[in-house]
Structure 1
């Protein structure tokens, strides 16, 4: 007997063919349940392409992010390289402060040659605090100046619950962040500087004849691309892991795990859930009209609202249900309005739950209508 997706076909018996019988309609299997991450302070899973939070356990509560601070240090280093302030092959002078940095180290020292690229490896693979101090001084001239840049960049990214005190993540009063903020910082780093994945996912590197191994317990595994590890205190591990598969990227953040191994096991379960329990869908192409607003005191009377870019969402598997959209106009909209001005947001919903919100723009400009135009609009509307 041969079975297809649509029907069963039966054997011929005594020269007669039996009728094709449709298969019964079966209910769709339930969506993959989210893993329950126990024994940690916070856990967040974020989809990189869509910026959607797929799993959130205590993700907006502030904690010491410890070594995950280095994600911002790396971001500013890559930004400085893009601005030609430093170059990967450039030799950096190592200060005494960097040499004597406590905690994890790549063992740089004054007088020993080290390049920006080598510091990047030391920062991202074994979380070298000495590398972080040397990078801060090379980019901003001082650690204090670099920390100012870190907080300015965090504010620009909208990381409202994050405040940095140092570039290395050593526990210091006042340094705080959340799992959601760290996930969004990791996403910004991956999106703007994708070259980070070529280094952060490596299992080891060598500097000055010393082989250092990646503290990330998932480093070197298939699809894993980084990103950072931190130890806030004894039995208090933080981990940010990025992974890429079939064109999708995910970031899993764990704060406050009891061990590095536990953090890795939890992050692995989260990544599996993200890749196998969710799928990507395109909802609108760039430039799609999603709403039209009419006002008699506008000229022209109609304002078309468009998407500035392709809008994608990830939805639970199996793909049962419908993605719906809801335009929310800016309540303060007034003419005149220029084309490409943001006029509101578009909520994308799955079974009534908001998956994400995207800004939407005016396709055309509108001006204030004169008295004759307003009168004509009213007359035409009454016909």
Structure 2
């Protein structure tokens, strides 16, 4: 399932591609017949909250986003949903965002171009739930868990069900306090709480495993046992990690000096791609994580075998030696408070400096 940073990248791509434009909307699959109601409306922007995307549309571009006439297309990609973009050079600065795509040889699965070079003539696949087309390109949605039209009250109801999003602005620290309070009043394990979208919105299985390793926390520690200071550090680390992910399209949690140590990963299939894999200069997937999908392999730092178990309906990964119940953040993450997760030696594009 795409994690929160992916949805924020998706919102940014929609802003660049369609923001302020009158768009054409259709449902080639036929399962989103409401698309006809939106045809020829103006896309006012795009909003990401956790794993949810909202696309507000209105009759004219001067309408206030909160006006009753605005219709919000609410999309949750779920496990299999993705958006595929096609258009003029530079359009949206993305090809596909969402669930990992299957490889076919060395090529990603693409729109049904059949040799067509003009994006205006691209035939949508039969599985396309929603197509949005603008002046310079189009975007096709396939396989979402949710695709619906909401009014302002409906949008608000979705937001009220979600916890704080580390990638949304938090100038006064309100969202951080919400996260800390939600964790500290619960007897549930921190490993389960981090997967609860009512506690924190946007975290998926990778961020959970890696955040707990970096905090040196056993996944089974109850939330109420954690101090305010430790949770504040975890929140700030999460903000940094997800900001990097939103900027680069990659989840990378390892320190540069640890990446070549035990550079292996255990996955069921080699046929998936992450967003950003097309860049040959990105950190390889097998060097990107400390414990995620590294069960049965030695920990990069201590050599202890990384373990895995079911927790909150997903597999959690951890190092039983590094992640003791009470131990606080290791010195290698405290020494540089300006960049506690230490990609300080890399450029803004996530490449080694």
The reply to whether TM is greater than 0.5 is no
TM-score band w.r.t. shorter chain:
under 0.3
Decide which structure has the larger Cα Rg and report it.
1
| Higher-strand-fraction structure | 1
Give me the TM-score of the superposition, normalised by structure 2.
Answer: 0.27
